Amino acid sequence: MAESTITQIDEDVEIGYIDENNLESFKTLLMPDVAAAIESGEPVVALGLVMSGVAAGAIAGHAEDETFVIESLYVAPAYRKKGGGEKLLDELTDLVGSEVSQIRIGLVITLPEHEKLASFLNRNGFVDIAKEESSMFRITIKKLAENEMLKKVPESPKVFNFADADEYLLRKEHKRAMAAGDPVPFGSFTAPSVRKDLSVAYIEGDEVMGYLVIEESEPGVLSVSSALNRGSAKVFSLVLKKALDNLMAKFDPETVLMVPVISSVSAGIVKKLDPDAGQVYKLLEKTL
């Protein structure tokens, strides 16, 4: 990496730019979408950590006005607790510090490794600025099934799994929701990550009046990526009940469902469904 080296820490440690020329060495240390962005020449700032001649870590992101957003940060397990992560952060700060006033990273805490990363960032000056009304919670399927309100919700012939719904109506609703700025999954209702056997829609006539989209980004990692109610108050309950029945039929009751909230109202709904729901999204920021 000599010609792209920014800093030679010592004879065994160096940090340099990652670009399309050396990307292959760092690909497994970057988030796939970040690696793809570098490969296509998009404006990504990416730094690689080399220890004893081996690619050991990487950090990457982009600037948004006065904020630098970290999209990927990883140090291989064999090279942790050797100061590499701190060196990556320090080098990034030196590089972008004159152009931005803060560095920010969003984390969804689903694994012990994520907790360790959050603690590492806290030790390096990052503080959590996430608000409950714009965060993400974790609820187990078992907790949802124990909710007394949902136990009383009847089945409805107007609620369909995406797998059984009219594809034309789903495409039409996705187009309408996009134009209206309503929440929709990235891509479409038929994106590969959308579980069509779990996601549900309330259809009245030729209109989708409500939906709840469940995605599986990784095996066993489930999240409600978007939900909407355009009908009466009962529509949301019917949609949620059907989705819960689907989850109960296919997953262990202890399986965790990630539920994002975008307002104090949706945060309140989550708390009603499970008063013990844990907040799992952290928005960590360091002021420069």
Looking at the fold, whether 152 and 198 belong to one and the same domain comes out as yes
pLDDT at 135: 72
Give the whole-angstrom CA distance, residue 208 versus residue 212.
11
pLDDT at 132: 59
In a domain? residue 56: yes
Strands 221-229, 256-260: pairing kind: parallel
> What's the domain count of the chain?
2
Tokens 């988030």 sit on residue: 31
pLDDT at 2: 43
Q: Average pLDDT, stretch 129-140? A: 76
Q: Average pLDDT, stretch 133-154? A: 87
Closest CA to 224 of 254, 194, 269: 194
In a domain? residue 265: no
Q: Is the pLDDT of residue 4 over 60?
A: no
Give the whole-angstrom CA distance, residue 71 versus residue 63.
11
- What separation in angstroms does the CA of 279 have from each of 39, 114, 119, 246, 261? 35, 14, 16, 24, 10
Is the overall model pTM greater than 0.85, yes or no? no
Give residue 78's pLDDT band: very low, low, confident or very high (50, 70, 90). very high
Q: What is the CATH number of the domain that holds 173?
A: 3.40.630
Q: Which of 100, 127, 155 is the last residue of a domain?
A: 100
- Give the tokens for residue 269: 């709904």
In a domain? residue 228: yes
Q: Average pLDDT, stretch 213-225? A: 85
- Range with top average pLDDT, 165-179, 217-231, 257-271: 165-179
Looking at the fold, whether 84 and 156 belong to one and the same domain comes out as no
Cβ contacts of residue 48 below 8 Å, gap of 6+?
1, 15, 16, 17, 18, 22, 25, 26, 29, 55, 57, 58
In a domain? residue 267: no
- Domain housing 19: 2-100
In a domain? residue 119: no
In a domain? residue 122: no
Closest CA to 108 of 141, 142, 137: 137
Task: Give the mean pLDDT of the chain.
Answer: 89
Q: Is the pLDDT of residue 107 over 80?
A: yes
Looking at the fold, whether 73 and 145 belong to one and the same domain comes out as no
